[in-house]
Chains A and B, each alone.
Chain A
Amino acid sequence: MERIEEKLKILADAAKYDVSCSSSGSKRKNTGGIGDASASGICHTYTEDGRCVSLLKILLTNHCIYDCAFCVSRKSNDVKRAAFTVEEVVELTMNFYRRNYIEGLFLSSGIFKNADFTMERLMRIVKKLRLEEKYNGYIHLKTIPGACEELIKEAGLYVDRMSINLEMPTEAGLKMVAPEKDHESVKKPLAFVQNQIQEYKAESKLIKHTPQFVPAGQSTQMVIGATPETDLEIMNVAKTFYNDYKLKRVYYSGYIPINTENSLLPQVGSRPPLVRENRLYQTDWLLRFYDFNLDEILNPKHQQLDLDIDPKLSWALRNPHYFPVDINTADYKQIIRIPGMGRQSAMKIIQSRKFGRLCEYQVKKMGIAFNRARHFMRCADTPIILGSPSMEYVKQTILQRNSNKYLKETSSAQLTLF
């Protein structure tokens, strides 16, 4: 294998556990060079795990002074080490971009020597792309915790998105697997960048040509299932970070066992918690787009999300008094609370009912999950049933009619035990 190919193998492999691959949220224009940012983002391909490939996601190096038990690049791990030169990263990015393989670059790095030294190297790549190659495509840059504010501020002027990972949802969890790290060193730079974004925004209202500063905002990531936090704890942290730092996204990354030595972590070969990860994302969406409060979904009485049903259905089954919702009269906010009903379908219903009361056969075709929704809504022709069915019965009916991939997954996993 050629040297550059081997480096790419090692440093892509080391970067892939960072799940963020979003290329959306920036409107950078092509100002007489090459490239621009597509506001909605573009996924150029998908790997066999079903994850999108939008950016060239690599580490500058996987040499690292830290020894975090959950990380594949930890100091004590016996893996091949490599480092790209600045020129190599720029050449790869430009050649992939010109062939329309990617939307841009996602650049992270292990920490070598110290934070400033690492950050400064990352900056050289970013500046070379923007200034010498006249590249206007997307750049997602990892903020290196502990790097000085001048460097972070300068980086913000060249990149589209910045992110720092919380790694474990709680401080206590983090200390278990990465004693050298703490949440404070994540919060500080997140807050600093957020303040800068605000300042630049305020300024751009007064001065016409204010430069863009991290136009696609910030994000973070939590590893799920490595440490014993409950879903309630995880979502509480997410909510706080959305509120305090106006994050564009919080990513939940199901832990993939990669450490044979640490007995606190799930062992190599155990299944990553993919269903749980999916439920957390669904909850995240309910909070951000469906106007739910966290304590409606998770509270001291319900600290874990159900795995066999989605969180909206779970909430609905616990709150039968809210249903059935009459789709011909209810307002938008009520309609989107119906399980199996998305925001687009709700909008279609609101628009269409002006032309006449809607019947089941019409609503069915609008793209809703009718098998779930039918138990919770009334259409013009829904027969009136005296009394209401028990929620346990509703749940069983839904589960029977669904070819539920999660149930399949869990039941087959259980069967293999015997």
Chain B
Amino acid sequence: MNYIFDGTYNGFLCCVFEYFEYKDTDVQLQVEGDNATQTTLFGLSKNIITDLAKAKRVQTGLQKRLEKSVAMDFFRVFLSEDRKAWAASFSIICQIFSGKTNILQNYGDEEVLYFKQTLKKVSRERHRMKAFIRFSKSSDGLFFAIAEPDFNVLPLITTFFKNRYTDQKWLIYDVKRKYGLLYDKQTVMEVKLSPEEKYALTADAIITLDEEDEHFQNLWKRYYRSTNIEARRNMKLHLQYVPKRYWKYLVEKQI
């Protein structure tokens, strides 16, 4: 049976709800709008309607059976946007609700291993975003940054940036997923930009930089060059830590 859901985490949890309500066999998850090449042989499928109350019941149920932070791991893995990891997640959750509450310890199981490996990838990306976000200061005092994370990790770094940069306004925008986090010194809001504003972020045309910003960018580049020890040059290690796909938004990697 194909479960077609809206691609949100709540929708995903509703699939779990559906499974236990109707006891369908051989459930495959499918996202609305994804290439529908995976239609099963007999074409049986259901549209799963996202119902927040149902989703909440599933998440609460997970929290009852697992430690709270472990229950959150399913959300983290979901942010990988990896369909194979979603399928593993779904299967694991179903087994947990069927009584195998310690299944996540079984690294010998292919699905569990894949789940854990994905979890690790997501937390590595979350950590990278804490490290590689580079703010520029605009003339009206907003510190803004553009990112293109491999996974949808913005929800996982909100608290970090909120606690750290409490006394400045900031915006972190994910160009791949077309939304951002905006902090106004009070709360963090999710924002979507209008087409003109998007243009403003990528070309320096509309957001004007603070006149000192270039000065500090230059000083940072100078520092980065000076703190390198040429006699120890090790490009392989360098690229392992700072893969090229992140260079685009790193001030110190711009020549």
Contacts and interface: CB of A to CB of B under 8 A. Distances in A.
Interface of A: 4-5, 8-9, 12-13, 15-17, 29-30, 32-36, 38, 42-53, 56-57, 92, 95-96, 98-101, 134, 254, 256-257, 271-272, 274, 348-349, 351-356, 358, 362, 365-366
Contact of A96 (B164, B220, B237): B220
20 contacts: A5-B218, A8-B219, A8-B222, A29-B163, A30-B166, A34-B165, A34-B166, A34-B167, A45-B242, A47-B238, A48-B228, A48-B234, A53-B227, A56-B223, A99-B216, A100-B133, A256-B229, A348-B107, A352-B105, A352-B109
Contact of A99 (B105, B137, B229): B137
A100 B168 contact: no
B229 A100 contact: no
A248 B233 CA distance: 27
A274 B108 CA distance: 37
A26 to B, nearest CB: 13
Interface stretch (B31-39, B61-69, B124-132, B195-203): B124-132
A36 B241 contact: no
B244 interface: no
A98 B216 CA distance: 11
B226 interface: yes
A43 B127 CA distance: 9
Contact of B105 (A9, A56, A351): A351
Given A50-B236, A100-B134, A362-B108, 15 more contacts: A9-B222, A9-B225, A32-B166, A36-B164, A45-B224, A48-B233, A50-B237, A50-B241, A92-B219, A95-B212, A98-B165, A99-B134, A99-B143, A99-B216, A352-B105
B135 interface: yes
Contacts of B230: 49
B6 interface: no
Contacts of A51: 228-229, 232
Contact of B219 (A5, A16, A30, A100): A5
Nearest to B165: A34
Nearest to B164: A36
Contacts of B220: 96, 99, 101
Nearest to A44: B131
A12 B113 contact: no
A286 to B, nearest CB: 22
B250 interface: yes
B233 to A, nearest CB: 6
Contacts of B108: 352-353, 355-356, 358, 362
Interface of B: 102, 105-109, 113, 127, 130-137, 143, 145, 160, 163-168, 212, 216, 218-220, 222-238, 240-242, 250-252
Contacts of A57: 227
Contact of B164 (A13, A34, A48, A349): A34
A33 B226 CA distance: 30
B137 A98 contact: yes
B134 A33 contact: no
Question: 8 tightest A-B contacts by CB?
Answer: A50-B237, A49-B232, A47-B228, A50-B234, A351-B105, A12-B226, A46-B241, A352-B107
A49 B134 CA distance: 22
A99 B135 contact: yes
A343 to B, nearest CB: 14
Contacts of A30: 163-164, 166
B216 A96 contact: yes
Given A8-B223, A96-B220, A101 B166 contact: no
B167 A33 contact: yes
A34 to B, nearest CB: 5
A256 B132 contact: no
Given A34-B166, A100-B135, A352-B107, A95 B231 contact: no
Given A5-B218, A34-B167, A45-B252, A52 B241 contact: yes
A272 B229 CA distance: 11
A32 B232 CA distance: 41
Contacts of A96: 216, 219-220, 223
Contacts of A15: 227
Contacts of A256: 229, 231-232
A53 B221 CA distance: 12
Nearest to A95: B216
A49 B226 contact: no
A402 to B, nearest CB: 15
Contacts of B168: 34, 98
A101 B164 contact: no
Contacts of B237: 46, 49-50
A36 B163 CA distance: 7
Contacts of A9: 222, 225-226
Contact of A45 (B109, B166, B235, B250): B250
B223 A12 contact: yes
B127 A42 contact: yes
Contacts of B143: 98-99
A231 to B, nearest CB: 20
Nearest to A99: B135
Contacts of A134: 167
